[in-house]
Structure 1
Amino acid sequence: MKTTAVRLYGKKDLRMERFELPPIKDNEILAKVVSDSICMSSYKAANQGTDHKRIPDNVAEHPIIIGHEFAGEIIEVGDKWKSKFQPGQKYSIQPAIYYEEGPVGVLSAPGYSYPHIGGDATYVIIPKDVVEQDCLLPYNGPGFYPASLAEPLSCVIGAMHANYHTTPGSYEHKMEIVDGGKMAILAGVGPMGLAAINYVIHRSNRKPSLLVVTDIDQSRLDRAAEIYPVETAQKNGIEQIYLNTGNVDDPVKSLKNLTDGKGYDDVFVFAPVPSVIEQADAILGFDGCLNFFAGPSNPNLQAKMNFYNVHYAYTHIVGTSGGNMNDMREALEIMSKGLDPAGLVTHIGGLNAVPETTLNLPNIAGGKKLIYTHIDMPLTPISEFAELGKTDPFFAKLAELVTNNNGLWSVEAEEYLLKNATTKTKG
């Protein structure tokens, strides 16, 4: 089986190449990749090369396939797994696996560490490391892109589960956000912030009574409010407020006033900015928990924190990086039941768009960049489909489909794309 894949050879050295995959072993699975969502973690890996802890030292001689937020179909199953998986099954992958022996390293992952598996490829071999650790997850929902976005959604789910609170006089930590409490999501209208909003307002078993989402970009706040309107949250018993903290004289005072001065039980920070971190600390209420979600690239990032409140007001701080297996399963389950992550997606492209997109990701505005690996297509903002459609019937139809879905990507749009886009040579 031949595959076409984007491989990493070193710092900022990504190459799209076609090559032969070896025959699968009894404990491996051959799979087709359909979609991959490009993550900032891939940008960091591509720019750091072997300095990244998950990138093997020998990538110059043995390149790895990049991309870790992917979904597709199983093609062929090795004998060991035939009772568990079947050809034709749709799948997603939990990429954060642990491999304790051999050259790959202790902390490894598809998309960082393996020569024959990664999201930016037409076909891959799923190794035993992934399957043995139950990181190959069947997906029974509609389309493919929701399964690609299960990994980023699982990160949000894990963050919610990681928050904790205490009872005065007890050392027992009660994990999770406060049910019926006050929550703030700061700098919260980027891709991951939108995922958090989506999860919070649609969650059935535990939710805040107040959800305040902040940013300093009014256009992004307006778009978030259009995708996830306050009326939807209200129907689910949540008072939701979008607040531009750049337009108020005293953001901390304005935020605390929304809680009658009591502060917030759960505050999530979605930007690695000291002023935002300090703002989060300042709005915590008694026994409040600050979750520093944003992954900083600066290893010396520092911000002030009120330790008087740590001692006397029981305030806490946690950080999470990624979700675990249960978080992934929860993400796939809620999406199979109808939660649509399309609000995260702002750009669509083919495999040919991956190298440039990955290396320049911070400079490309918008949310998630969704790649379909079996097509050739430049990275294209969904917002430009209508203009392109004036001269191209293909984009005209895509524009019609997304317009029918409030300007968002959809399963219908995906199906049309996969049937009508210029396809790559089959493996």
Structure 2
Amino acid sequence: MKTKAVRLYGKKDLRLEEFELPQIKENEILAKVVSDSLCMSSYKASSQGTDHKRVPDDVAENPIIIGHEFAGELVEVGAKWADKFKAGDKFSIQPALYYEDGPVGVLSAPGYSYQHIGGDATYVIIPNEVMEKNCLLAYKGEGYYPASLAEPLSCVIGAMHANYHTTPGSYVHKMEIVEGGKMAILAGVGPMGLAAINYVLRREDRKPSLVVVTDVDQTRLDRAATILPIEFAQSRGIDLRYINTGKMKNPVEELKAISGGTGYDDVFVFAPVKPVVEQGDAILAFDGCLNFFAGPGDPTFSASFNFYNVHYAYTHVVGTSGGNTADMVEALEMMSKGLDPAGLVTHIGGLDAVAEATNHLPEIPGGKKLIYTHINFPLTAISEFEEKGKTDPVLKNLADICKKNKGLWSVEAESYLLSNYSK
């Protein structure tokens, strides 16, 4: 079968090409990709080429397909997996295989390391090791884009699970955020911050009593409050507040005052900015845990941490990068029950838009760029649909659909696009 895919040959060398996939083996699965969400990690892989830890040294001769936040449906299932999967099943992929040894190596992952599997393709071959590691995951919800966004949602789920707290006199740490505790999400209205808020508000097993979300961009704060309103949080028993720290004379004192003077049990930092990290440290409560979620590009990045409080107030720090397979399963289950990650998506595009968008991702404002691999469609902000719809009837109708959904993408919009846009 022929596939079209965006392949990496070297630094910033991404090419959209059509080529023949080999016949699947009895331990492989042929799959149709429907959607893929572009990630900064793909930008890093393209920028670094073979210097990237997950990219093979021979990509110039054996290019890999990029993209790792993808979803679609299975087309043909090899005999080995026929009792577990069937054609027509919708799927998502956990790209982190966590191999300790073996032929794929420690860091190999779909979207970085394979010639025949990656999200920015029309059809792919899912290799045996993905199924062996239980990284081919069923999705039973509506549409496809939620499953594409399961991987980024799993990252914030993993962050929540990774926080820990202590018990006096015991050396056994209690994992997780504090039930009924106070939480701060700093620089928290970007795509991943929104995912974190959405998850916190919809968890059934554990929730804080107070969630303070900060940023210095009022427009982004207002958008977040529209997507994830404080009224919904109240219905869940959570006091949610959106705070512009840029308007505060003394953010640390004022944020502490909002907590009732105690500080915050769980603080999440969503920007690799030194003053934000130090602000997070300064507002920690006794036994408070600071989760440094944002991945810095600078390997020498550092910030001050109050070690007096580490010693006497039991404050501590953790860092998380990505979620595991259990986090992906949890994300897919929550979305099948109604969690909609559409607030992360700000742009829609086709396969023809991937190479240019990936190589310039840091320069494109907004949140997630969602790609539909079986159409040609220039990368377009949802906010531009109405204006561009004056000359494009499909975009006009998409604008109307999005307007009905608070300006957000939706299963209805996805279905309309896939049914009406030229293949």
Q: Does 1:112 align with 2:112?
A: yes
Cα shift readout 1:77-119 (whole Å, capped 9, x = no counterpart): 0010000000000000000013455664321100000000000
1: CA distance, partners of 2:190 / 2:363: 14
1: CA distance, partners of 2:62 / 2:241: 50
Give the match's secondary structure for 2:156.
helix
Aligned residue runs from structure 1 range 142-291, under 5 A: 142-291=142-291
Amino acid at match of 2:87: P
2: CA distance, partners of 1:100 / 1:302: 30
- 2:43 alignment partner in structure 1: 43
Give the match's secondary structure for 2:317.
strand
CA gap 1:285/1:101 in 2 versus in 1, 3 angstroms: closer
2: CA distance, partners of 1:335 / 1:300: 37
- 1:80 alignment partner in structure 2: 80
1: CA distance, partners of 2:30 / 2:4: 14
The two structures have a TM-score, normalised by structure 2, of 0.99
* Deviation, structure 1 residue 169: 1.4
Runs of 4+ in 1 over 6 A off after TM superposition: none
- 1:319 alignment partner in structure 2: 319
2: CA distance, partners of 1:7 / 1:56: 13
Aligned residue runs from structure 1 range 330-369, under 5 A: 330-369=330-369
Give the match's secondary structure for 2:305.
coil
Give the match's secondary structure for 1:98.
coil
Tell me if the contact between 1:54 and 1:105 (Cα under 8 Å) persists in the aligned partners: no
Give the match's secondary structure for 1:220.
helix
Amino acid at match of 2:188: G
Query: Any gaps of 5 or more consecutive residues in structure 2?
Result: none
Cα shift readout 1:334-389 (whole Å, capped 9, x = no counterpart): 00001000000000000000011101111111000000000000000000111111
2: CA distance, partners of 1:258 / 1:169: 30
Aligned length: 423
* Deviation, structure 1 residue 38: 0.3
Q: Does 1:381 align with 2:378?
A: no
Amino acid at match of 1:112: Y
Give the match's secondary structure for 1:225.
helix
2: CA distance, partners of 1:52 / 1:242: 37
- 1:95 alignment partner in structure 2: 95
2: CA distance, partners of 1:34 / 1:300: 39
2: CA distance, partners of 1:390 / 1:316: 54
- 2:65 alignment partner in structure 1: 65
* Deviation, structure 1 residue 254: 1.1
Amino acid at match of 1:268: F
Cα shift readout 1:238-285 (whole Å, capped 9, x = no counterpart): 001101111111111111010121100000000011111000000000
* Deviation, structure 1 residue 422: 1.5
Tell me if the contact between 1:27 and 1:78 (Cα under 8 Å) persists in the aligned partners: yes
Q: Does 1:27 align with 2:22?
A: no
Give the match's secondary structure for 2:129.
helix
* Deviation, structure 1 residue 316: 1.2
Cα shift readout 1:39-72 (whole Å, capped 9, x = no counterpart): 1111111101111100001111100000000000
Tell me if the contact between 1:56 and 1:103 (Cα under 8 Å) persists in the aligned partners: no
Give the match's secondary structure for 1:107.
coil
Query: Any gaps of 5 or more consecutive residues in structure 1?
Result: none
2: CA distance, partners of 1:102 / 1:319: 28
* Deviation, structure 1 residue 290: 0.2
